[in-house]
A = this chain, B = another copy of it.
């Protein structure tokens, strides 16, 4: 490593004995120059540790290499995991992923979209807040920036949507619960996104299909602190005996985690074993759901598939110049994960 500092591409071109445009070409795509030239550049790179100025690059490029990733709530390990996977794949393709979390606030989501616009990303992967999103802001954003939606759909917005198939997963677990014990009732909080609604509807229809009366217990809660909502609502519902049956299907795992804690607090035994008083099931296969006591029976969303497919579609979108012919919605099936709670 030579100690002479290289200021810019011109200087680096001089010390490496190669013209600046060729160097520029190399940095945009190392494989676009002849192997011998590439070797010479990389040898010089070893010695001088030069890196092009990102800001100058992005200012002049037709398209930046920036990819925006926006999630509604990063403290939720579900999104943290997905973000991690997406980041990885973007980096592998030579893009610059940049991660944003709306932290559950619509204002912040709007600000993020604003910031993102000025970053001029080639593409964006967006998991909207859902119900609380400023739909017009999102819509406007998607018209300007090639965007793929995931997790939470907004009809007609974005170039594609990738999510999980609530219409398949809920009947799957409802059927399982009915087959192995008392039919479930449905435990939910005010829906924060379309998934919540679809799950309730799927529950009702699945129960009717099986000839049972679909009971929905809706509790209060406006925050993204789902576990707390589930706990508080659970304590209340359990104390006042609001659950119609001894089997409870929760709208998502985080709610279920809170509910299990509530049951434990009230010394109500949870599980599918003989002697247990209630059964609790969730939906999502949250990373922590295997460590609840008892471990949570749930539906595994296919994290990997959703994030992989989202990235693939985005890459296609980018290659197509930011415009897919038709807006496709891809839904992945969930798998039943039988653990101890139901």
Interface residues of A (CB under 8 A from B): 51, 53-56, 58-59, 74-75, 77, 80-81, 83-84, 87-88, 91, 96, 98-101, 103, 111, 114-115, 117-120, 227, 231, 257-258, 260-261, 263-265, 287-288, 290-295
Nearest CB in chain B: distance from A240 CB, A: 21
Which residue of B is nearest A119, CB measured? B54
- In angstroms, Cα B83 to Cα A87, docked, is 17
Q: Which residues of B contact A291 (CB under 8 A)?
A: 227, 231, 257-258, 260-261
> Copies of this chain, how many?
2
Q: Which residues of B contact A294 (CB under 8 A)?
A: 264
Which residue of B is nearest A81, CB measured? B75
- In angstroms, Cα B291 to Cα A55, docked, is 46
Chain A binding site: helix, strand, loop or mixed by DSSP? helix
- In angstroms, Cα B177 to Cα A26, docked, is 63
A227:B81 contact, CB within 8 angstroms: no
- In angstroms, Cα B76 to Cα A81, docked, is 10
B74:A80 contact, CB within 8 angstroms: yes
A295:B261 contact, CB within 8 angstroms: yes
Nearest CB in chain B: distance from A144 CB, A: 12
Q: Which residues of B contact A114 (CB under 8 A)?
A: 51
- In angstroms, Cα B101 to Cα A40, docked, is 34
- In angstroms, Cα B313 to Cα A89, docked, is 35
Q: Which residues of B contact A295 (CB under 8 A)?
A: 261, 265
A261:B80 contact, CB within 8 angstroms: no
A55:B51 contact, CB within 8 angstroms: no
Q: Which residues of B contact A101 (CB under 8 A)?
A: 80, 83-84, 87, 99
Nearest CB in chain B: distance from A164 CB, A: 19
Nearest CB in chain B: distance from A54 CB, A: 5
Partner of A288, one of B84, B99, B227, B263: B227
Nearest CB in chain B: distance from A231 CB, A: 6
Nearest CB in chain B: distance from A68 CB, A: 12
A-B contacts, 14 of them at CB < 8 A, read: A51-B114, A53-B59, A54-B119, A74-B83, A84-B101, A87-B101, A96-B115, A99-B100, A231-B291, A257-B288, A258-B291, A261-B291, A261-B292, A264-B293
